[in-house]
Every structure is written in C-alpha cells, then in structure tokens.
Amino acid sequence: MKPIIAAAGEDGLRPELGLLDATMINVGTIIASSIFIVPSTIAAAFTASFPTILVWVVGAAVSLCGALCIAELGAAMPKAGGQFVYLRRAFGPVWGYLYGWGSAVVINPASIAAIAVGFATYLGFFVPLSGLAVKLVAAGSILLLTLINCFGLRVGALTQDVLTLIKIAAVVALVALCLLLPGGHLANIEPLWPRESAGSLVGPFGVAMIAVLFAYDGWIEITYVGSEMKNPARDMPTSIVASTVLVSVLYIGVSVAMLYVLGQARTAASSLVAADAMRVVLGAGGASLITVAVLVSTLGSNHGIVFTAARIPYAMARAGQFFPWAGRLHPRYATPNTSLIVQGFWSALLALSGTYLQLITYMIFVSFLFYALSCVAVIVLRRREPGLARPYRAWGYPVTPVVFILFSGYLIGNTILETPKDAAVGAVLLLGGLPVYAYCRRRYAQA
C-alpha cells in the first residue's frame, strides 16, 4: 500500500506536521549548547543562589509572554515564514521584508554556522581535529542536515523528533544524576540571600537576563512552517506554549543542579560548568557523557534551524519580495529544496570563513527588535482587525505583550549603549537589504 501523502495547501507545502513534531521542533531548536555553559555566566553575576535561580525563572516568564503573543499570531495566520507574514500584515510589506532579510540572509545562516562549529569543536573531544578540520566537519554537518531535509517534510520532522527526544532525556539525566548521586549537598546552595542591597542587584540582574533570554530563544521556530501543520489552529499555540514551559522547567532544573553540586563560587568560576558537575558525581566518565549530550544537543538544534529557516525566503519569494528561485518546490517532495540548498552552502561558507560570530554579534539585537514588533502587531491587529479569526487569544493580554515589549526594549537599548559600533553595523546590514527589496518588487510588478 502506498503511503498517504497530504494534499498541498495554497502555498504548495504539505500539511504533515502534528503536535509532537511542532513541539520537538521548538524544543530542539531552543536547547543547544547554552544550557551547558550559561549557568556559569549567570552565577558569576551574583554572590548568592536565590538571584541566580530567580533570573532563570524571570527569563522563563518573559519568554512565555512572547510565546503567548506569537501563538496568537501563528494560530490566526498559519503561513510559511512566521514573522514575515505577521509583520507584513500589521505594518506593511517593507517591515516583513526587513525581518525576512535579517533573519534568512544573516541571522539564521550565521547561527547555523556557529552551532555547527560548536558541534565540530566538541567532536574533537573524541577525535582530535585541527582548526581546519573543525571548519570542514562543521561545513559537512550543515550540508548533511540540508540533504536530509531535501527528502521531504516527514524525513526532516522524524529526524528532529528523534534528536530532540534524545536531547530531553540527556538533560533530564544530567539533572537527575547531579541531584541523586553522591557529590552534591544542600550546603552548596548557601548563601541563599545576597549580602548586597536589592537596589545594587538591578544592574547585574539585567546583564544576566540578556544571557538567559538568549538561552531561551527559539520558541518561534514552528511559526516558520505554519502552513505545513495539520491542525495549526489547535497545535500551533499548544506547541509554542508547551515547548516554552518544558524548556523552562529543564533550564531551571539544570541551574539548581549545578549549584547543588558545585556551589555558587565554583559554578561561577567554571568554563564548562556541566562537565565539571558531572566529573564530581561520575568521575572522568562524566566528561564523556556530557560531551555526547552537547553533540546531540547542537546537532538537534541546528537541524531545527535548517529545517524551518529555509521557509522564510520561500515565503518572501512567493510574495514577490525575494529572488524567484527561492520560491521553487521539489516536484516530488514538496519541499523548498532550492532555498534549502542555497541556505546550506551559504551557512557552510560562513563556517569555513569564520565570519559567523561577527555577524551574530552585529545582528543579535535585531532579532529582539522584531520580536518586540511582533508583540506590537498583536495589539495593532486586535484594534484594526477585530474580526480576524483568532482560534487562540494570548492569555493575559494586554499585559503579556507589554511585558515582552518592555524587556525587548531594554535589551535593544542596552546593546546600543554598550556596543554602539556593533549595533550600527547591524543596522547597516539590515538596511542593506533594501536595494534587493526594490529590485525584487520592481521585477515582480513587471512580471
């Protein structure tokens, strides 16, 4: 019997993703290598364990505010491209384009390259690699993940499901081993309360929040493939909220586990905090175990980005705002293979050149600018289009979008004040896409 293949929607993409697929895409993208490293950065900002844990809780709450708002937009407009679609509808085509340009041409390829290099670097724990070999392995992993996704939506989704389930099990095991095996002690969590006044913690708390919110980033990924979901009205908001809550529980658990085993000072001083904690409870074998977890984690995160990000230039091309080749689908698999392949080679080139870190540094504040605009879009569309079908309405509205907008504004403002050169270069890279926008619009109008 031949397998049943879902009929393509109006954009040519097949709705084949269920709730599990959607949740695994989000969870798999959020959890990369940050959770194995960032707890040290957070602990270094404070002298006591309570604010160290609290910042993860507050970061989870802020991320959930953003997720609730995006869930409303995703359920109302389940189209390929995510924020490209929402911003275009709320503010006009140029704002959707600027998001698509920044995300699809700069941020996502640079992120793919960075994560791939991280994967190859950790692989060197088992197989010694030279600097050139690390770059080659990184580029090869990108092309492999790209190839997997060229063979249809189900192949890519199944790969993501398996990698993410393994990743979740690894993080749960990390927390459980640290809390249950000998080596940790409640005394390590002391002191619980800082000696400093609450006012003096405002600055360090804000700096720590930046690292935490970046660690939580990725809950928006499923919106890029909205038209490929079987039941987006129900599953889109459920997957976004469920993935954010699940990752929040895992991240807070890891933070508590690190403090329980290492204590505040040792956590703050560790460059590889998860590996050091596992050495305490498992000895030398702990380092090998955590390295495997990082390898799976980075590979799964990168697969999620490769899988979803190629849909952004595809949606842009179909709207006449990008080059026509990006809007092509494979005749058999109904996947945007041209977009996938170009994205793969561009990301691999960035990995080989080593320029990805600069691009991420320049553009990272831009992503929160568009997150904030998407939350503004919720408010704008509620007022301007009250009749728009909204299968899901953001819980806590209007508090939830306002909270996220304020925190995003803080991150953007802090970036401009602390690293004005990087912010300026990021703005130039973003606005540098406008000539391409003008060219594509003119060509589309003449067609």
Listing DSSP states for 321-388 in one string gives SS-GGGG---TTT-S-HHHHHHHHHHHHHHHHHT-HHHHHHHHHHHHHHHHHHHHHHHHHHHHH-TTS
- Given CA atoms 123, 127, 131, 136 in this order, what sign does their dihedral have? negative
In a domain, 7, yes or no: no
Tokens describing residue 90: 């709320």
- Contact partners, residue 190, CB within 8 Å, separation at least 6: 49
| Residue 404 burial (10 A CB sphere; 0-12, 13-18, 19+) | buried
Buried b (16+ CB within 10 A) or exposed e, 201-213: beebbeebbbbbb
Tokens describing residue 435: 């000539």
Angle at the Cα of 269 (from 41 to 43), degrees rounded to 5? 40
The pLDDT mean for the chain works out to 89
Place of tokens 């393509």: 8
Whole-angstrom distance, CA of residue 99 vs CA of residue 86? 10
Torsion angle in degrees (nearest 10) through CA of 26, 30, 33, 34: -170
Average pLDDT over residues 270-274: 83
Band of residue 41 on the pLDDT scale cut at 50, 70, 90: confident
Q: What is the pLDDT of residues 116-150, one digit of tens each?
A: 988 998 898 888 899 899 999 999 999 999 999 99
The DSSP bridge partners found for residue 17 are 229
In a domain, 272, yes or no: yes
Average pLDDT over residues 236-240: 92
Average pLDDT over residues 370-391: 95
- The model's pTM is 0.86
Q: Is the pLDDT of residue 447 over 80?
A: no
More confident residue, 6 or 61: 61
Contact yes or no for 53/362 (Cβ under 8 A): no
Note the pLDDT of residue 204. Answer: 81
In a domain, 423, yes or no: yes
In a domain, 2, yes or no: no
Number of domains in the chain: 1
Q: Is the pLDDT of residue 6 over 70?
A: no
| From 277-281, 363-367, 426-430, the region with the lowest mean pLDDT | 363-367
Average pLDDT over residues 47-52: 91
Give percent above pLDDT 90 in the chain: 60
Give Dmax (Cα) for the chain.
72
| Residue 166 burial (10 A CB sphere; 0-12, 13-18, 19+) | middle
Q: What is the pLDDT of residues 76-117, one digit of tens each?
A: 999 989 999 999 999 999 999 999 999 988 889 988 998 898
294: domain CATH number? 1.20.1740.10
Note the pLDDT of residue 4. Answer: 39
Average pLDDT over residues 285-300: 88
More confident residue, 256 or 192: 256
- Contact partners, residue 237, CB within 8 Å, separation at least 6: 71, 72, 74, 75, 391, 392
Place of tokens 């290492």: 262
In a domain, 4, yes or no: no
Band of residue 1 on the pLDDT scale cut at 50, 70, 90: very low
| From 164-173, 209-218, 222-231, 243-252, the region with the lowest mean pLDDT | 209-218
In a domain, 99, yes or no: yes
Tokens describing residue 308: 């979803």
In a domain, 231, yes or no: yes
Note the pLDDT of residue 66. Answer: 92
Average pLDDT over residues 259-284: 89
Q: Is the pLDDT of residue 224 over 80?
A: yes
Q: Can you give the residue range of the structural domain that contains 82?
A: 19-446
Band of residue 284 on the pLDDT scale cut at 50, 70, 90: confident
Band of residue 2 on the pLDDT scale cut at 50, 70, 90: very low
